[in-house]
């Protein structure tokens, strides 16, 4: 009787010919997060991925693999051969565990016979194993319509017996869907945006704009910590850190006060696009949500967009703030995001920012600036580091 953890892959199962590519990516993530633990083989068997584990590392393995995108359910299983006696023993062992859970009074056995050479059909085998449990374990009865727990028996090359299906995040493995550059501020939204796009398989790098020494080193540290939390889901994240204080000063002296935010946002986009192209990254990602603030009206988004030629993914565009906050709490970025350190956007913040900017006027304002020169100069002092 071996202990294994099974990982259900959900959406990957729909991938047809590309399926192996997705599964292999997932397996490489599993191996990465389990580094340092003593585990056995990690292998595929008919649609699921299995990890051989020792009894005492089960919980740790579950906690670690829970954060890998592409996994829908995690089940601690007992693995046995296709010998009826062994299967019975496994079923009893599993049933014994559930007996001790107070809320569990009823069960149903569900057999999934992928190996059609196995001589007993699924419904019949479920009945037989149900009878074994009834006979040997006190206090449990069968309820076929609404059981408190299911006892699952998957008959494949090996046989797997389990009850728990622990829900994971789902999505697709990071690295199966291109690369994106996340514009990561210290706020609540952008880490959530990065999380959601990584969950769709995008490999994330992050760029942060600051106005040091007008913004503090602690503000930088905060963003680094947010990237670190994100990296616990995605693996290593490359960070690009760009000082835009000179750009802001230039805008402040040469352009209308109420255009400060939209003009600096256009600079951020251009710099991000430049960094992305130089690093083989295909899309930008922001935490913009329609209507949330002045710079996120349809008009502002349109004017921001016009500064670049690269697609910008905005996974939060239609989400309410309360929902975004719920996700931020769930993924553990919220507490860090609300730390009250200065952001570069609060510097020179206009009293009445334009909410319906017109591209024509914004471009006219930019004629007062050496856009290219300012970008080049900001990039010269860009810092690059990895967080993990």
Site residues, Mg ion (CB under 5 A): 185, 187
Comparing CB distances to Mg ion, the nearer of 173 and 191 is 191
CA angle 33, 34, 40 (to 5 degrees): 150
288 part of the interface to ligand ATP, by CB under 6 A: yes
In contact, 353 and 261? CB cutoff 8 Å:
yes
Distance CA 256, CA 3 (A): 67
- CB 303 → Mg ion: shortest distance, Å? 18
Site residue total, ligand ATP (CB under 6 A): 20
- CB 171 → ligand ATP: shortest distance, Å? 20
Q: Which DSSP helix (H) or strand (E) runs through 269?
A: helix 260-278
Question: How crowded is the C-beta side of 260, counted as CA atoms within 13 Å?
Answer: 19
What is the separation, in whole angstroms, between the first and last Cα of the chain? 36
- CB 343 → Mg ion: shortest distance, Å? 5
Q: Given candidates 126, 205, 231, 286, which one binds ligand ATP under the rule CB under 6 A?
A: 286
Distance CA 220, CA 249 (A): 20
Comparing CB distances to Mg ion, the nearer of 129 and 184 is 184
Q: Quick one: which of 28, 328, 30, 14 has its CA closest to 195?
A: 328
- CB 373 → ligand ATP: shortest distance, Å? 21
CB count in 10 Å sphere of residue 146: 7
Q: Given candidates 6, 75, 163, 190, which one binds ligand ATP under the rule CB under 6 A?
A: 190
Two structure tokens written together for 112: 């999934």
Candidates 93-101, 126-134, 282-290, 357-365: pick the segment binding ligand ATP (CB under 6 A). 282-290
- CB 319 → ligand ATP: shortest distance, Å? 11
**What residue is closest to Mg ion based on CB?**
187
Comparing CB distances to ligand ATP, the nearer of 91 and 193 is 193
Q: Could you say which of ligand ATP, Mg ion, none residue 183 binds, taking C-beta under 5 to 8 angstroms by partner kind?
A: ligand ATP
Two structure tokens written together for 375: 């970008």
Comparing CB distances to Mg ion, the nearer of 101 and 323 is 323
- CB 324 → ligand ATP: shortest distance, Å? 8
CA angle 218, 186, 206 (to 5 degrees): 105
Comparing CB distances to ligand ATP, the nearer of 18 and 381 is 381
Comparing CB distances to ligand ATP, the nearer of 91 and 344 is 344
Question: How crowded is the C-beta side of 327, counted as CA atoms within 13 Å?
Answer: 20
Per-residue x/- mask for ligand ATP, residues 112 to 151, rule CB under 6 A? ----------------------------------------
Distance CA 163, CA 107 (A): 10
Q: Could you say which of ligand ATP, Mg ion, none residue 72 binds, taking C-beta under 5 to 8 angstroms by partner kind?
A: none
Candidates 23-31, 181-189, 233-241, 245-253: pick the segment binding ligand ATP (CB under 6 A). 181-189
Q: Given candidates 23, 154, 189, 259, which one binds ligand ATP under the rule CB under 6 A?
A: 189
Tell me the DSSP string of 211-268.
Answer: -TTTS-HHHHHHHHHHHHHHHHHHS-EEEEEEE-HHHHHHHHHHS-GGGHHHHHHHHH
The interface with ligand ATP within residues 293-322 (CB under 6 A) comprises 293, 295-296
Strands 237-243 and 283-285: unpaired
**What residue is closest to ligand ATP based on CB?**
187
Q: Could you say which of Mg ion, ligand ATP, none residue 287 binds, taking C-beta under 5 to 8 angstroms by partner kind?
A: ligand ATP
344 part of the interface to ligand ATP, by CB under 6 A: yes
Using DSSP, how many helices (H) and how many strands (E) does the chain show? Answer: 13, 15
Crossing angle (nearest 10°) for helices 298-305 and 359-366? 50
Residue whose tokens read 């106005």: 211
Comparing CB distances to ligand ATP, the nearer of 190 and 205 is 190
SS3 sequence of 193-215 = HHHHHHHECCEEEEEEEECCCCC
Q: Given candidates 12, 33, 149, 184, which one binds ligand ATP under the rule CB under 6 A?
A: 184
Binding site for ligand ATP (CB under 6 A): 183-185, 187-190, 208-209, 268, 286-288, 292-293, 295-296, 343-345
């Amino acid at each position: 009787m071996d202990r294994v953890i099974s990982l259900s892959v959900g959406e990957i199962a729909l991938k047809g010919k590309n399926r192996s590519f997705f599964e292999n990516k997932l397996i490489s993530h599993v191996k990465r997060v389990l580094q340092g633990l003593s585990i056995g083989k990690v292998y595929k068997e008919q649609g699921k991925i299995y990890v051989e584990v020792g009894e005492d590392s089960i919980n740790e393995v579950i906690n670690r693999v829970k954060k890998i995108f592409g996994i829908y359910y995690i089940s601690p299983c007992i693995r046995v051969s296709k010998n009826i006696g062994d299967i019975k023993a496994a079923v009893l062992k599993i049933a014994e565990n559930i007996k001790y859970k107070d809320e569990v009074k009823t069960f149903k056995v569900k057999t999934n016979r992928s190996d059609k050479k196995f001589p007993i059909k699924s419904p019949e085998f479920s009945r037989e194993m149900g009878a074994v449990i009834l006979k040997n374990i006190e206090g449990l009865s069968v309820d076929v319509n609404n059981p408190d727990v299911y006892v699952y028996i998957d008959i494949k090359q090996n046989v797997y017996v389990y009850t728990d299906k622990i829900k994971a995040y789902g999505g697709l493995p990071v690295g199966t869907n291109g690369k994106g550059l996340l514009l990561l501020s210290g706020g609540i939204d952008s880490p959530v945006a990065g999380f959601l796009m990584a969950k769709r398989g995008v490999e994330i790098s992050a760029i942060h704009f600051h106005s040091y020494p007008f913004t503090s080193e602690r503000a930088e540290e905060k963003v680094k910590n947010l990237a670190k939390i994100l990296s616990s889901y995605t693996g290593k994240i490359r960070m690009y850190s760009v000082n835009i204080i000179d750009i802001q000063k230039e805008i402040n002296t040469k352009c209308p006060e109420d255009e400060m935010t939209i003009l600096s946002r256009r600079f951020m986009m251009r710099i991000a696009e430049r960094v992305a192209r130089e690093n083989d990254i295909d899309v930008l990602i922001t935490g913009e949500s329609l209507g949330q603030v002045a710079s996120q009206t349809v008009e502002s988004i349109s004017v921001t967009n016009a500064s670049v030629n690269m697609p910008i993914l905005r996974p939060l565009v239609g989400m309410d703030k309360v929902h975004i906050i719920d996700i931020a709490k769930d993924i553990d970025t919220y507490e860090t995001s609300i730390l009250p350190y200065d952001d570069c956007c609060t510097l020179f913040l206009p009293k009445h920012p334009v909410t319906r900017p017109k591209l024509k006027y914004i471009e006219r304002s930019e004629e007062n600036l050496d856009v290219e020169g300012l970008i080049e100069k900001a990039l010269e002092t860009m810092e690059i580091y990895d967080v993990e």
